[in-house]
A and B are shown apart, each in its own frame.
Chain A
Amino acid sequence: MPFDARRWPVWRQVTGKDLLGLGRTATSTLTEGRTARTATADRVATSICPYCAVGCGQLVYVRDGEVTQIEGDPASPLSRGRLCPKGAASRELVNSPLRELKVKYRPPHGSSWEEISLDSAMDMIADRVIATRDATFEEVDEKGRPLRRTMGIASLGGATIDNEENYLWRKLMVGLGVVQVENQARI
C-alpha cells in the first residue's frame, strides 16, 4: 500500500481534534486490520477475579476450547468493568506454560520429582490418610470423654478456592475426624 501522509497517525493527531492521541487517531492501517480477540470468541463465560476479595467481575472469552482473553465485566456494580494489574493478568495465570499439568511425586529421601498417574496418586494418598489416621486416632481423652479424632493430619488452605470446595473438604475432614483444618483467614 502506498504511503499516505494523511493516514499517518501523527498527522491526523496534529490536524484533527484528538491532539493527545487517545482516540481514533491512535489507529493505523495495520491496527485497523486487526480484530480483537473478544470479537472472535466462540463463547463468553461470566466469572469473578480469582485474586483479592473485592470480587471484580470478569468475562472469559473462549475460542477453540482455549481461554483467549479475560476482560473486566462492565455490568458489575462493584467493579464497573475495571480490573487491577492482577485481575488483568489472569489470562496469563490460567494459560502460563509454567503451570503444572501432570502429577509430580517425590518419594521419601528422593532427589528428584517422578511422574505417576493421577489415579495412583489418589490411591496412594487415600492409603496414607487411612494409615496415619489409624495410627493416631484418639477415641477418648484421659477423662474418658469422646474425641473421635486424629491429630496426625492437618490441612491448610481454602481462601483461594470456592465455597463449594471448602464445604465439601471440611465435610470430608469432619467425617475423618481431622480437626486441624485451617485456611489463610488465620494468617
Chain B
Amino acid sequence: MGSNMAECHPVAFQWVVEAQKRGGKLVHVDPRFTRTSALADLHIPLRAGSDIAFLGGLIHYVLEKQRYFRDYMVNYTNAATIIDERFLDTEDLDGFFSGWNEDQGVYENRTWQYRGGSVWAAAGQRTAPPPQGDGVVVAGEVPFEDPSLEDPHCVFQLLRRHFSRYTEEMVERACGVPAAQFRRLAELICDSSGPERSTCFVYAVGWTQHTVGVQYIRTAAILQLLLGNMGRPGGGILALRGHANIQGATDIATLFDVLPGYLPMPMASDSTDLDGFCRPHGGAAGGYWGNLKAYLVSLLKAYWGDAATPDNQFAFDHLPRLTGDHSTYQSTLGMVDGTVKGFFVLGENPAVGSAHGTLHRRGLRNLDWLVVRDLYEIETASFWYDSPEVAAGEVRSEEIGTEVFLLPAAAHTEKDGSFTNTQRLLQWHQRAIDPAGDRRSELWFAYWLGRRIRAKLEGQHRDRDRPLLDLTWGYPLEGEQQEPQAEAVLREISGVAADGSQLPGLGALRDDGSTSSGTWIYCGAFAGGQNQAARRRPHWEQSWVAPEWGWAWPMNRRVLYNRASADPSGRPWSERKRYLAWDPEQGRWTGPDVPDFPVDRAPTYKPPPGASAENSLPGDRPFVMQADGRGWLFAPSGLLDGPFPTHYEPQESPTRNPLYEQEANPARQRFLRPDNPYHPTAGEEGADRFPFVMTTYRLTEHHTAGGMSRFLARLSQLQPEMFCEVSPELAELRHLRHGGWATIVTARASIEARVLVTARVTPLRVQGRQVHQVGLPYHWGSRGLVRGDSANDLFPLVLDPNVHIQEVKAATCDIRPGRRADQPPS
C-alpha cells in the first residue's frame, strides 16, 4: 500500500515475484492500477487519503473475528496494559482524544499514560513524558496489566472500542472499496499470518506524505502486531525509500531534531544538565534507550575529542538548542520572510521536489546567498533566470538580489563512501577515478569549508566559536585534491576505545568518556579495524541471510526485534518459520542472524532489582527499544496526534469525514497566510470549484525531482513529457482528449500536462457520489533535456505534526482542457 514497488523499486520487486513463485500472494491497494497491480493477485483501488479507514477496517475484522495471534499479542504487545481511566477516545469526543488544548492546538498526553507509570517514547517526540502517579518511568515491568484482556481500560478493549465503527460498510463509504473485495483481502491476510505464515506490508511515500502520515504507518504496525507479523522472517513493515542514502542521511543525521543515531537534539527548555537531560525523572528508561547517556557522551567525544571532559559535561553545552519546529518548510517560510539569509543545497532540488514550488522559489529570490552543489545545473540553481515566474514576466532577473554559487559535485564513482539502503544495510562504493575540474565530494567541501572558517575565526577568541574550534577535524588527506579519507570518517562514526582500538559494537559504549562513537547505531561498522560496509562476499558463498555482504545496523542484524521469531520460551513458533531459537544446552540463541539482545539472555531471565536499560527487560520481551519491551498497540507517548490512529480527511477533500464531526487531523500543521491558500473542503462554500482528488507519483525512468534523470538522454527518451492520468469518465466530463493538453488548477498554481486517458485510474463511489482522481508524476521542471511543469507547484504547505512532512498524496484540484493561459511562446 502507498507504494508502486514494481516501477519505483524494480530490482527489489524481483523478490516479491520469487515469493509469488513459491505460493505467496501479492495484494496491491493503491488508487492507481500500475505494473505492481498488474502482477498482483488482487488489486484494490481506494480513494487517496483513506488508508487509515481501510487498515482500521482490517484491525476491526481481526479483532471481531478473533483472528489475532493471541500468544504473540498477549506476550509481546501492550494489549494487556491498563491505561489511565481518565483517557477518552475519539469515539467519546467525536474525533478528539482527551487532552486537546484548543487554544494552542496541541494535545497534552497526561491521560494517555499507563496506569501507575509514564513511559518515555522510543521514537517520535522524545521529550520527557509528564510525571504520572508516583512518577516512575517504566523500566521493564508494567505496573498494571490484565492478561485476560477483559479490563475495560486495558489496551485491547480500548482498541476494540476505538475501531468498533470501522466496519466493512464504513470502508466502502470512506474508501470506495466494495465490501466483498475488502472481505477477500481480510481473509487472505488472516490466512497468511500466524505461527506457520507471515505477511509483510510494503509502503513508500504514498503513506508518509499526508497530514496523518505517521498514523498511517502506526495503523499498519498495530495490525502487524495483532497478527504476530513483526520480528519474524517474511513479516514486518518495509519502507521503500527513494534515494540511495536517504536512510543513512536520516540515521546520521541531517535532520534538525535528531543527532546521529536518533539521539534527541536538546531543546532550550530541556535541562542543561547532562544527567538531567538523559534521565528527566531521575530513573533511566528501560530497554536500550536506558543507555542514552553512554550514546550521547560517545557522540560528544567524537565531535569534540579532548575538549569534551567530565568537568564540562563532555561539552554538552556546545550543542545548539532548538525552540520548536525548525524543519525545511519552516526554513522556506523563513527565506520568504527574510529571517533565513544563507542556504546550502546539497544534491537536492527543492524548486521542483518540495510542495508549493512557487513559495520555494520566492524564498530563493529573497536570500542573500545560496550555495548549490550538484552534478547538473538544476532548477534550484537557475531560478533567477529560468523559472516559471521569470518566464511569465512576474519578476526580472535584475530584481533578484541572491548571490548564487553553483559548485560541481563528484559522482559516486569519483569518491569512496557508504550508502545505507532501505533495509539499513551499509554498502561501500569505491572511488574508481578522481573527479575532474572543480568537481569535488561533499566530504571535501565540508572538510575544507570547515577548515577555512576555523582558520578565519581562530585568532578571535570568542566564546561562540568554541564549539566550532573545538571540533576534532584532523582527517588524513589524500591525493592531489587533498580529499579527506572517507574510511577515517567511518572509523570515527563506528567508534574507538580510549586506547584507540576500534570498538566491536554498541555494547562497548560507556558514559564516562572512555569511548567515542559518532553514531551509536553504526558502532561496529569498523569492528576489528575492517571496513565492514565494504564486505562483498558473493551471495552464492553464504547463507540466504547473506550476513557477509555489507553491514546492517545495528550489529549487522538483518531482522529487527528478531526475538519475536521465537515463542516466549525460546522455541520457534513453527518449523516453517524458524529463525532464532534458544539452545538451552549451549545457553545461547542460535540461528542465521544476530540476536536483537544479548546472545546469552535466557528466555526465563527476570531482571534483578535495580537492573537498567536492556537488562531491565525480562527474557521474553522482544521490542528492546521500548521502555517496557513490548510492541505498542497503544502509544502513551511519542505522538502528537493521538495514541491510536484515527481516520481523518486530508486538508483538502471532496468528501466529509464519515466517522467524526472533526474533518481533518486537528493537530496537523497549517500555515494560514495569503501566500499559502487552502481550498475549501467538502461541506464548505466553494468546495465544488476544486472537485477532484489529485495525487503525485514517480516513474521508473525518472528519479524524484529529476536532477539525476532529466539530463540523461536515454532516460529522457523513455519518459519525455509531463502528463496526467485521468479516467475515461473524467475525460468525458471535462472534454479531455488523449494525447492533448490539460491544465490542472489549484489556488496555488496552474500547470499544464499531456493527457493520458486510461482505465488505470478508476473513479470510485464514495459516500454515494463519484470521486474522480488525477494522477500526476512530479519529475519535471524548466531544465534538462526534457522539460515540463512541476506537479508540486499545485500543493499547499500543510504538514504531519509529528514529522513535518507535507501532504502531496491527496489534495483537491480542477482540470480543464487546453494549455495554461500564460504559456510562453515556443
A binds B: yes
A interface with B by C-beta (< 8 Å)? 43, 45-58, 60, 62, 65-67, 70, 73-80, 82-87, 89-90, 92-94, 96, 98-113, 118, 121-130, 132, 135-137, 139, 141, 143, 145-149, 151-172, 174-187
Residue on A nearest B440 in the bound complex, by CB: A118
Cα distance, A156 to B246, chains bound together (Å) = 12
Please report which residues of chain B, range 227-259, place their CB below 8 angstroms from some CB of chain A when the two chains form the complex.
240-256, 259
**A108-B402, A141-B268 known; A149 vs B320 contact (CB < 8 Å):** yes
- Partner-contacting stretch, out of B84-92, B159-167, B697-705: B697-705
With A and B bound together, what is the CA distance between A111 and B382 in angstroms? Answer: 11
B826 near A: Cβ within 8 Å?
no
Report the bound CA distance from A105 to B467 in whole Å: 31
Least CB separation from B242: chain A residue: A52
**Which residues does chain A contribute within 8 Å of B538, judged by CB atoms?**
74-75
B471 at the interface (CB under 8 A from A): yes
Q: Are B377 and A157 in contact (CB under 8 A)?
A: no
Q: Are A152 and B339 in contact (CB under 8 A)?
A: yes
Q: Confirm or deny: B401 has a beta carbon within 8 angstroms of a beta carbon on chain A.
A: yes
Q: Is B498 positioned at the interface, with any CB of A under 8 Å from its CB?
A: no
Stretch at the interface among B5-13, B274-282, B643-651: B5-13
Task: Give the docked Cα–Cα distance between A110 and B546 (Å).
Answer: 55
Cα–Cα distance between A52 and B411 once the two chains are bound (Å): 15
Among B243, B415, B429, B440, the residue within 8 A (CB) of A184 is: B243
- B674 in the interface, Cβ–Cβ < 8 Å? no
6 closest A-B pairs by beta carbon, nearest first, are A162-B417, A55-B421, A157-B346, A158-B249, A77-B539, A159-B243
- Distance (Å) between the CB of B449 and the closest chain A CB? 6
Task: Assess the B433–A67 pair: CB atoms within 8 A.
Answer: yes
Residue B464 CB within 8 A of the other chain = yes
Q: Could you show 11 A-B contacts with beta carbons less than 8 Å apart?
A: A58-B429, A86-B701, A89-B715, A100-B439, A125-B371, A130-B453, A154-B335, A158-B245, A160-B245, A167-B519, A184-B353
B253, B303, B701: most-surrounded residue (chain A CB, <10 A): B253
Residue of A nearest to B249 (CB): A158
Which residues of chain A come closer than 8 Å to B201, judged between CB atoms?
A: none
Residue of B nearest to A83 (CB): B11
| Per-residue A-contact encoding for B338-369, CB less than 8 Å = 1, 0 else | 01111111111010011100000000000011
Describe B's contact surface by its main secondary structure.
Answer: mixed
Chain B: CB-nearest residue to A148: B320
Residue of A nearest to B414 (CB): A94
Contact B422 A155 (CB under 8 A): no
- B804 proximal to A (CB < 8 A): yes
User: CA A108 – CA B402 in complex, angstroms?
Assistant: 5
Within 8 A of A (CB), among B363-412: 368-369, 371, 373-377, 381, 384-385, 397-408, 411-412
Q: How far is the CA of A175 from the CA of B245 in the complex (A)?
A: 23
A51 to B245 CA separation, bound complex (whole angstroms): 9
Please, how many angstroms separate the alpha-carbon atoms of A50 and B240 in the complex? 15
B348 lies within 8 A of A164 (CB): no
Q: How far is the CB of A102 from chain B (nearest CB, A)?
A: 5
Q: Does B604 contact A (CB under 8 A)?
A: no
Among candidates B342, B418, B711, residue contacting A152 with C-beta atoms closer than 8 Å? B342
Task: From known contacts A108-B401, A146-B268, infer whether A96 and B374 are also in contact, taking CB-CB under 8 Å.
Answer: no
Chain B residues with Cβ under 8 A from A79's Cβ? 11
Contacts of B715 in A (CB 8 A): 85-86, 89
A163-B245 in contact (CB<8A)? yes
Nearest CB on B from A170, distance (A): 5
A129-B449, A186-B803 known; A85 vs B718 contact (CB < 8 Å) = yes
The answer, yes or no, to whether B582 is at the interface (CB within 8 Å) is no
Contact call A78/B12, Cβ cutoff below 8 A: yes
State whether B254 touches A158 (Cβ < 8 A): yes
Q: Within the complex, what minimum Cβ distance (angstroms) separates A74 from chain B? A: 8
- 16 new A-B pairs (CB below 8 Å) besides A162-B443, A175-B470? A45-B430, A48-B421, A99-B439, A102-B408, A109-B400, A111-B397, A128-B368, A132-B369, A136-B341, A146-B272, A156-B346, A157-B347, A174-B319, A182-B328, A184-B704, A186-B805
For A74, the closest partner residue in chain B by CB is B538
- The closest CB in chain A to the CB of B9 belongs to A54
Partner of B412, one of A50, A53, A86, A164: A50
Flag if B250 contacts A160 (CB, 8 Å): no
* Across-interface contacts of B69 in A (CB, < 8 A): none
Question: Which residues of A are found within 8 Å of B320, using beta-carbon distances?
Answer: 147-149, 174, 177-179
Contact yes or no, B431 A45, CB < 8 A: yes
On chain B, the residues within 8 Å of A109 by CB distance are 397-401
Known: A106-B403, A130-B453, A172-B449. A187 touches B377 (CB 8 A): no
Q: Which of B142-150, B485-493, B678-686 contacts A (4 or more CB under 8 A)?
A: B485-493
**Min CB gap A126→B, angstroms:** 4
Q: Tell me whether B47 is interfacial, beta carbon within 8 Å.
A: no
Task: Encode B443-455 as 1/0 by CB contact (under 8 A) with A.
Answer: 1001111101100
CA distance A175 to B315 in the complex (A): 11
A152 vs chain B, min Cβ distance (A): 5
**Contact assessment for B254 and A166 in the assembled complex, using a CB-CB cutoff below 8 Å:** yes
* B468 contacts the other chain (CB 8 A): yes
B293 within 8 A of A: no
Q: Which of chain A's residues have a CB closer than 8 A to the CB of B246?
A: 53, 158-159, 183-185
Contact B348 A159 (CB under 8 A): yes
Q: Given the complex, which residues of B lie within 8 Å of A177, measured CB to CB?
A: 320, 464, 467-468
Evaluate contact between B348 and A183: CB separation under 8 angstroms.
yes
Residues of A within 8 A of B672 (CB): none
In this complex, what residue of B is CB-closest to A155? B344
Q: Which residue of B lies closest to A134 (CB)?
A: B464
- A153 vs B549: C-alpha distance when bound (angstroms): 39
- Chain B neighbourhood of A161, CB < 8 A: 245, 249, 346-347, 417, 442
Question: Is B406 a contact of A100 with CB atoms below 8 Å?
Answer: yes
Q: Residue on B with the closest CB to A165?
A: B442
User: Among A107, A153, A164, which residue has its beta carbon within 8 angstroms of that of B418?
Assistant: A164
A53–B253 Cα distance when bound, in Å, is 16
When distances are taken between beta carbons in the complex, the residues of chain A under 8 Å from B260 are 167, 170
B711: chain A residues at CB < 8 Å are: 96, 98-99
Q: What residue of chain B has the Cβ atom nearest to residue A64's Cβ? A: B433
Report the nearest A residue to B317, measured CB to CB.
A146
Query: Does B183 have its Cβ within 8 Å of any Cβ on chain A?
Result: no
| B301 close to A (CB within 8 Å) | no
- Whether the pair A145, B272 counts as a contact (CB closer than 8 A) is yes
Chain B residue with minimal CB distance to A135?
B341
A50 — nearest CB in chain B belongs to which residue?
B412
Q: Min CB distance, B520 to chain A, in Å?
A: 13
Chain A contacts of B385 at CB under 8 A?
111-112
Cα separation A175 to B455 with both chains bound (whole Å): 14
Our pick among B14, B252, B353, B401 for the contact of A167 (Cβ within 8 Å) is B252
Q: Does B769 contact A (CB under 8 A)?
A: no
Q: Are A166 and B253 in contact (CB under 8 A)?
A: yes
Contacts of B708 in A (CB 8 A): 50-51, 86, 93, 160
* Structural contact, B11 and A84, CB atoms closer than 8 A: yes
Q: Which of B487-541 contact A (CB under 8 A)?
A: 489-490, 492-493, 518-519, 522, 534, 536-540
Q: Which residue of A lies closest to B251 (CB)?
A: A163
Do the beta carbons of A147 and B268 come within 8 Å of each other? yes
Roughly how many angstroms separate A94 CA and B542 CA in the complex, as a whole number?
33
Does B70 lie at the interface of the complex (its beta carbon under 8 Å from any beta carbon of A)?
no
**What chain B residues lie within 8 Å of A102 (beta carbons)?**
408, 437-438
The complex places the Cα of A179 from the Cα of B397 at a distance, in Å, of 31
B714 contacts A by Cβ under 8 Å:
yes
Contact of A155 among B243, B343, B447, B718 (CB under 8 A): B343
A154 near B331: Cβ-Cβ < 8 Å: yes
Q: A77-B539, A186-B805 are in contact. Are A163 and B467 (CB under 8 A)?
A: no
Q: Which residue of A lies closest to B803 (CB)?
A: A186
The answer to whether B805 and A162 have CB atoms under 8 Å apart is no
Residues of B within 8 A of A50 (CB): 244, 411-412, 419, 708
